[in-house]
Amino acid sequence: MMEPIFLQPVFKERIWGGTALRDRFGYAIPSDHTGECWAISGHPHGQSTVLNGEYKGMGLGDLWKKHRKELFGDDQNEVFPLLTKILDANSDLSVQVHPDDEYAGIHENGELGKTECWYIIDCKPGAELVYGHHARTKAELEHMIKNGEWDRLLRRVPIRPGDFLFVPSGTIHALCEGTLVLETQQSSDTTYRVYDYDRTDEKGNKRELHLDKALDVITVPHRDQDLHFEKETHEGAAITCFIRSKYFSVYKWEISGEGEFPKTAPYLLVSVIGGSGSVTVGDKSFPLKKGDHFILPNPVQSFRTEGKMEWIVSHP
């Protein structure tokens, strides 16, 4: 398939969701409490659907199973390894933590663990998020959780549009009100909820907590991530590498004008988060707008861009 694979996202309603996915990206969301756009997903809880070409109508997970080698090269993962989301935190998300591969494999029926990262597309003035904790030992952590000492325990950090944060498995975290985020993560839907502000649903029920598993996997003491962004300038684009990790590499492409680029990984996941333009493969050009998501598969060796756009690009 010598062309981009465009994908139709899946949308998830959440107690903390809002309307930003419609207001900012023009998506047809299911309700005014839509929190998640699963934009590039092969996960069985929400597969993106191919919109073009010979595989039109297939789910990404099915495409991986049936055409992995020809479209994705020598990737040995049994499942499509990454999941790209856009999250609309209209109110605070629960304080949570994710397991690593080993723990999830044992306790979550073989599910992958979940290391993730966030690019802050937008946030309200003075916005912050929960990232890490202040407990020095496991015993202190357990005591503070069981006694509800959340103000003492939780570490809050200020954020601004354009910030990038790496969230390894074992990190306590929560997006907070007024934040719009592109998330790149392992393809996992396993979350251990630690604290949910005692919220109730429309039936008056509190959401389930998972304290025993959370205490098993939280990293103590918290470790900050020392990130060093690498920037390159090419004709037609400025590229910032945010991270190269065991699970994914993530970049921001700021495209201006025209440029031609070699594909530097077996396949690339691309989300257009701003502007408009086009991508050309061979002699075929494809229009792009904010909110489009696509994969440049293994057979594509190079591509051209034109326009003024912002992309978030990733690969395993």
Active site residues: 193
Q: How many CB atoms lie within 10 A of CB 2?
A: 11
Residue 61: DSSP 8-state: H
Residue of 6, 40, 2, 12 lying closest to 316 (CA atoms): 40
DSSP run (H or E) holding 77: none
> What counts of helices (H) and strands (E) characterise the chain?
6, 20
Q: Sheet holding 34-40: strands in order across?
A: 10-18, 34-40, 82-89, 179-186, 116-123, 164-167
**Neighbouring residues of 303: CB distance < 8 A, sequence distance ≥ 6:** 260, 261, 263, 279, 280, 281, 296
How many angstroms separate the Cα of 125 from the Cα of each of 20, 90, 183, 219?
A: 16, 14, 20, 30
* Cis peptide bond upstream of 221, omega within 30: yes
Q: Is 113 helix (H, G, I), strand (E, B) or coil?
A: coil
Measured distance between the N- and C-terminal CA atoms of the chain, rounded to whole angstroms = 20
* Distance separating alpha carbons of residues 61 and 79, to the nearest angstrom: 7
* Distance separating alpha carbons of residues 148 and 257, to the nearest angstrom: 53
DSSP string, 135-162: -SSHHHHHHHHHTT-HHHHEEEEE--TT
Contact 37, 21 (CB under 8 A): yes
